[in-house]
């Protein structure tokens, strides 16, 4: 299906309401470190180069718009100051901030720009639309002195999901995210050209202030700083804890990240829980019925708004139909015996969806979303006995290389496939060569060239990020991961969550022969937690009823626990028993590796 490049509606909407931006668009931290910089994207003002897919180039041009925008009277957005948007709603005494970006520095810069134009209004409430770090991490930039008496609203389950994704698995996700977002790559015709969802992700100070008010049910109404809001719960859509909401006075619908101007991820390439396209589609349909038919504008946590009832309904309907189409057709083919990879190769979108700009695969893709649906229902195993117990990549590579006749032969055949245009199989062969001989510079360069070509040809920004970052690391080695979403969140975690972060670092084989118990009495929380190391597992028992001997008893506060876990020991903290037990515990913990290898062993 041919795409209509003469349709400029998205550009008109992306520019509508523009007030002012920063010149240059460069945001720095207190120490002068640059945490967000879009000055390298000037190439997007010119013609599309041969090294970027034209459709992706168009999306990058739209994502590069930045500044303060009026959505409707009383509602403003900061766009292009991070990968996400920050929305500001004017209340009776101050402003409600929705989704304060990833980094405090970017959120502070956006709020300062708003105040230059609209007055020095205090922040009187914060709303987190969902549990992903780019929608709460910059809260310290809008509440630099802490929460105080400012209410913070979030969907029920927010804290559990934010911790599960950004802390428990945060190291692995962030490392893979450097590939997905092309972090560290230079913007340009042969480098990073947006993430599809936004121009780039910032790398500043990440924090979290826990919510004070849970939104628990659809139809819940709250008045925040004099502004009435009606909420719609949408769990299991783009995030496990997410919500849409409507401002009746403004006739404005916030669709969070449930409807942005692209096909989103059902399983993001950085890693996450598989999302449910069936309920996602149904929640969008519910939003149409509840709110859209009366709305003047729909805005989201990424991209630009849509104005006019008919346009909003059309836009949301395309989003709704895409997710349900992918679900239903995948399940249909799955039940005919096809596996995920086969379905991804075979699925055909309906013409109306294939031609719609709003559901193009810039961030998610039809291919990897179909595989995610298959995984959601049937898991990683494709049902073929050979797939049940395969060798890991290094062992498999050694056997393939031996079978083919050595690394030189594999490189030769890989180049031949690349020359014939079969880049996918060339990448597979050359990966075997690299994993069989990781120090073979010829093999790494041959694979890097294939990744370069695959990245240049990708319409999907996250695929481009993976391919081009892979090529770069094959040539120059592993680059340091510039962001850790979990690093600034510790103070907001519950005791249970803090002890969970310890338990997931226990080296099971090393701890298998150790056993001890520590009882933690939290004087400020009126609760006791017993930690038991048993069979290489750290078990926590809150308010235990059973009376068993313990090796160490510690009386402390939640804040003091943060210091203990940071390695400050028990100095000044009341305790009885054997304090060396704590050292024994810490000696059993592995430090995660934020820069682990991906394209090499």
More confident residue, 368 or 490: 368
pTM score: 0.93
- Dihedrals phi, psi of 451, to nearest 5 degrees: -60, -40
DSSP state for residue 242 in the 8-state scheme: B
pLDDT tens digits, 250-280? 999 999 999 999 999 999 999 988 999 999 9
pLDDT of residue 248: 98
pLDDT at residue 168 in the model: 85
Whether pLDDT at 488 is above 90: no
The vertex-425 CA angle with 420 and 426, nearest 5°, equals: 65
Residues 207-217 pLDDT 10s: 999 999 999 99
Report long-range pairs for 551-554 (Cβ below 8 Å, ≥24 apart).
Answer: 551/516, 551/517, 551/518, 551/577, 551/578, 551/581, 552/516, 552/517, 552/518, 552/519, 552/576, 552/577, 552/578, 552/579, 552/581, 552/582, 553/518, 553/519, 553/521, 553/577, 554/518, 554/519, 554/520, 554/521
pLDDT in tens, 50-89: 999 999 999 999 999 999 999 999 999 999 999 999 999 9
Instruction: Give the whole-angstrom CA distance, residue 88 versus residue 557.
Output: 36
User: 552-556 and 516-522: which strand pairing?
Assistant: parallel
Is pLDDT at 236 greater than 60 in this prediction?
yes
Q: What is the share, in percent, of the chain residues with pLDDT greater than 70?
A: 99
Q: Is 19 helix (H, G, I), strand (E, B) or coil?
A: strand
Judged by DSSP in three states, 201 sits in: coil
**Sheet strand arrangement including 537-542:** 537-542, 527-534, 516-522, 552-556, 574-577
The alpha carbon dihedral of 393, 396, 401, 402 has a sign of positive
Q: Would the pLDDT of 579 be above 60? A: yes
Average pLDDT, the chain: 96
Torsion angle of the four alpha carbons 272, 278, 284, 289, in this order, in degrees rounded to the nearest 10? -150
What are the pLDDT digits (tens) for 383-426?
999 999 999 999 999 999 999 999 999 999 999 999 999 999 99
Residue 472 has pLDDT above 70, yes or no: yes
Number of Cβ within 10 Å of residue 29's Cβ equals 15
**Could you give the CA distance from residue 554 to residue 567 in angstroms, rounded to a whole number?**
15
DSSP H or E run through 230: strand 227-233
Query: d(Cα 598, Cα 473) in Å, to the nearest integer?
Result: 9
For the cut 60, the answer to whether the pLDDT of residue 485 exceeds it is no
Residues 91-126 have pLDDT tens digits of 999 999 999 999 999 999 999 999 999 999 999 999
Kindly report, residue by residue over 164-184, the tens digit of the pLDDT.
877 888 899 989 999 999 998
b/e 482-500 (16+ beta carbons within 10 angstroms → b): bbbbbbbbbebbebebbbb
CB distance 234 to 217 below 8 Å: no
Q: Quick one: which of 244, 242, 241, 246 has its CA closest to 230?
A: 246
Q: Is the pLDDT of residue 484 over 70?
A: no
pLDDT tens track for 306-326: 999 999 999 999 999 999 999
Distance CA 55, CA 7 (A): 12
Q: Over the stretch 527-575, which tens digit does the pLDDT of each residue have?
A: 999 999 999 999 999 999 999 999 999 999 999 999 999 999 999 999 9
């Amino acid at each position: 299906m041919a795409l209509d490049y003469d349709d400029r509606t998205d550009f008109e909407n992306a520019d509508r309401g523009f007030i002012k931006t920063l010149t240059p668009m460069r945001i720095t931290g207190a120490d002068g470190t640059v945490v967000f910089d879009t000055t390298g994207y000037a190439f997007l003002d010119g013609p599309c180069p041969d090294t970027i897919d034209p459709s992706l180039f168009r999306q990058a041009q739209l994502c590069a718009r930045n500044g303060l925008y009026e959505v409707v009277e009383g509602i403003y957005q900061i766009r292009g100051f991070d990968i996400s948007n920050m929305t500001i709603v004017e209340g009776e005494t101050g402003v409600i901030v929705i989704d304060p970006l990833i980094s405090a520095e970017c959120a502070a810069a956006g709020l300062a720009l708003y105040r230059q134009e609209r007055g020095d209004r205090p922040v009187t409430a914060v709303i987190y639309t969902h549990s992903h770090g780019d929608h709460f991490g910059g809260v310290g930039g809008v509440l630099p002195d802490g929460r105080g008496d400012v209410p913070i609203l979030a969907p029920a389950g927010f804290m559990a999901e934010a911790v599960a994704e950004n802390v428990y698995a945060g190291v692995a996700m962030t490392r893979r995210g450097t590939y997905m977002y092309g972090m560290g790559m230079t913007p340009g015709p042969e480098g990073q050209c947006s993430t599809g969802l936004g121009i780039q992700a910032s790398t500043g100070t990440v924090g979290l202030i826990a919510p004070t008010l849970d939104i628990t049910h659809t139809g819940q109404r709250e008045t925040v700083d004099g502004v009435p809001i009606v909420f719609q719960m949408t769990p299991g859509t783009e995030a496990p804890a997410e919500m849409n909401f409507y401002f009746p006075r403004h006739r404005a619908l916030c669709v969070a990240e449930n409807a942005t101007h692209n096909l989103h991820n059902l399983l993001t390439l950085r890693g996450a829980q598989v999302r449910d396209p069936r309920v996602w589609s149904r929640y969008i349909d519910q939003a149409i019925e509840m709110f859209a038919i009366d709305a003047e504008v729909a805005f989201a946590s990424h991209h630009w708004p849509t104005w006019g009832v008919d346009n909003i309904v059309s836009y949301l309907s395309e989003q709704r139909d895409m997710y349900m189409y992918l679900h239903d057709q995948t399940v249909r083919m799955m039940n005919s015996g096809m596996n995920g990879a086969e379905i991804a190769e075979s699925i055909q979108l309906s013409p109306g969806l294939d031609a719609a700009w709003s559901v193009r695969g810039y961030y998610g893709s039809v291919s990897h979303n179909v595989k995610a649906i298959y995984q959601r229902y049937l898991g990683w195993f494709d049902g073929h006995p050979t797939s049940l117990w395969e060798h890991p990549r290094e062992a498999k590579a050694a056997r393939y290389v031996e079978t083919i006749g050595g690394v030189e032969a594999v490189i030769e055949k890989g180049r031949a496939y690349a020359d014939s245009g079969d880049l996918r199989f060339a990448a597979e062969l050359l990966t075997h060569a690299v994993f069989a001989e990781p120090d073979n510079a010829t093999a790494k360069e041959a694979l890097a060239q294939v990744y370069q070509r695959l990245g240049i040809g990708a319409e999907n920004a996250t695929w481009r990020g993976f391919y081009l970052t892979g090529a770069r690391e094959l040539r120059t080695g592993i680059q340091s991961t510039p962001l850790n979403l979990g690093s600034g969140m510790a103070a907001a975690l519950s005791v249970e969550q803090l002890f969970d972060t310890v338990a997931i670092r226990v080296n099971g084989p090393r701890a298998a022969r150790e056993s001890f118990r520590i009882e933690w009495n939290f004087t400020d929380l009126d609760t006791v937690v017993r930690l038991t190391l048993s069979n290489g597992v750290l078990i926590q028992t809150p308010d235990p009823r059973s009376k068993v001997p313990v090796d160490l008893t510690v009386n402390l506060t939640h804040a003091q626990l943060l210091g203990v876990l940071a390695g400050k020991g028990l100095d000044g903290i009341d305790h009885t028993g054997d304090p060396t037990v704590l050292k024994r515990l810490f000696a059993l913990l592995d430090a995660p590796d934020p820069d682990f290898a991906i394209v090499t062993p």
